[in-house]
Amino acid sequence: MGTETPRRSHYSFAVRFDYLAHTLGVTETLVYVNNTSASLTELLVVVEADRREGSFALQGLQWGDGEPLEDYILEEARLRIPLRQALAPYQSLSLHIQYSLDIPFFEAGQVVYGPLNATARQANLGDWYPYIPPLDAEAGWLVYEPSGVGENQVYDLADFEVNIEVVDAPPGLVIAASSWGQQAGDRYHFLLEGGRNFAWSASPEYVVAQTVIGSALITSYAFPEDARQGQALLQVSADAVALYNELFAPYPHTSLAVVESGFFDGLEYDGLYFLGSEYFAAYSGAPTDYLTILGAHETAHQWWYGLVGSDQAWQPWLDEALCTYSERLFYERYAPELLPWWWNYRVDRFDPQGAVDSTIYDLAGFRLYTDAVYLRGARLLEDLRIRVGDEAFFAALKAYAAREAGRIARPDDFFAALRAQTGQDFSDIVARYFQEGSVP
């Protein structure tokens, strides 16, 4: 018997959001599809919000038919559920989960950390709901512990329907989300089909700017003092979407939200990315500012993370190296005279060392990890491009994006796409950048 075409799992949320109290009350209905060839006797649900003590409170759990589910274990941000009967291949089951979230609040002057946070200016909802991770036939559930660097979570594609009721909404409240929503008073409705995850952000201060690229609505959300920077970042993301549509694949969604955040650095979600206020404040208007560099990088994650998934813990270069190299492609198209500057400023001045295929657990500290995975990753891709030529290189990127769309790609998949486009041997290049003995 052959394998069946995968069906996507579905998440539905009824959210009661108290903006001023920084709390959520949630009823989540999860329809999980077993797209493996093996029967399952247990489900593993990731509850990342449970890592923050006092943030997550499980209030009820039922099977889809309403029968109470009491035989479970919730510990260390993992919810393990023995099944009443084995879940056969390509069959589905549903769960109802009721829980509350106390969003960690940071006072003015405190360093804001983590994508689940609230300040006096905004609430950010990343990694806020329980979800079922991918299941690999050999490795099992793709679930990992956090590290001091990088991201540890891996996501299957799923469909999301999110209904939010805001309690005592402040005047002018705006919600940015992984999909464009509909609003009726204090109620909001969002639908995202075929996404890795769903994130959102709320603030009464956002200045909103928009543009359309192809069939995608690109929207930036910035604080009032950074309205000019928000407009600039909108243009960067719009230009990047247009370019990556051409070089990689059509953008898979109908909207992209670009959100200024009070927490440091940039962070990607499907259909949305956050960028820290520090980059807005430092923006001079020049294309050499980090606002432009990281806008191009984070937008690229919609392809290398969103469209094509990967194991971010064990093979982070598959998205981060490709997104860093996408910065190079952005400057090549829109400011080619700045390419030598980009290579020096972004890569060469750090004299990066380390194996490109390092995991998030191999290297201690941001600098060592970034140098190896991001910066030497960009050099690897440049050397491969030079060896095989532009025609084969860009044909391989398109073939890789087309073949691996919706999947969790592996290094073998990337190099197979490249080998299919060229007769050139590039194993010596990969050996120079990868750990000894790990060349695909």
Whole-angstrom distance, CA of residue 199 vs CA of residue 106: 19
pLDDT on residue 438: 72
Does the residue 87 lie in any domain? Answer: no
Measured CA distances, 280 to 26, 221, 222, 295, 414 (Å): 33, 12, 9, 11, 35
Q: Tell me which residue has tokens 């909207």.
A: 255
Does the residue 134 lie in any domain? Answer: no
Does the residue 139 lie in any domain? Answer: no
Measured CA distances, 143 to 37, 78, 153, 156, 314 (Å): 20, 9, 7, 12, 11
Does the residue 384 lie in any domain? Answer: yes
Does the residue 160 lie in any domain? Answer: no
Q: How many domains are there within the chain?
A: 1
Please give the single-letter amino acid code of residue 166.
V
What is the domain range of residue 347? Answer: 317-433
Whole-angstrom distance, CA of residue 89 vs CA of residue 133: 16
What is the CB-side half-sphere exposure of residue 91 using CA atoms within 13 A? 10
Closest by CA to 381, choosing from 335, 337, 317, is: 317
Q: What CATH number corresponds to the domain at position 378? A: 1.10.390.10
What is the per-residue pLDDT across 225-263, written as a single tens digit (0 to 9) for each?
999 999 999 999 999 999 999 999 999 999 999 999 999
Does the residue 21 lie in any domain? Answer: no
pLDDT on residue 1: 40
Listed in sequence order, the residues at least 6 apart from 230 whose beta carbon sits closer than 8 Å to its beta carbon are 207, 209, 220, 221, 222, 258, 260, 280
Does the residue 375 lie in any domain? Answer: yes
pLDDT on residue 5: 65
What is the per-residue pLDDT across 322-376, written as a single tens digit (0 to 9) for each?
999 999 999 999 999 999 999 999 999 999 999 999 999 999 899 999 999 999 9
**pTM across the whole model:** 0.97
Does the residue 361 lie in any domain? Answer: yes
- Encoding tokens for residue 430? 């990969």
Residues of the chain with pLDDT under 50: 1-2
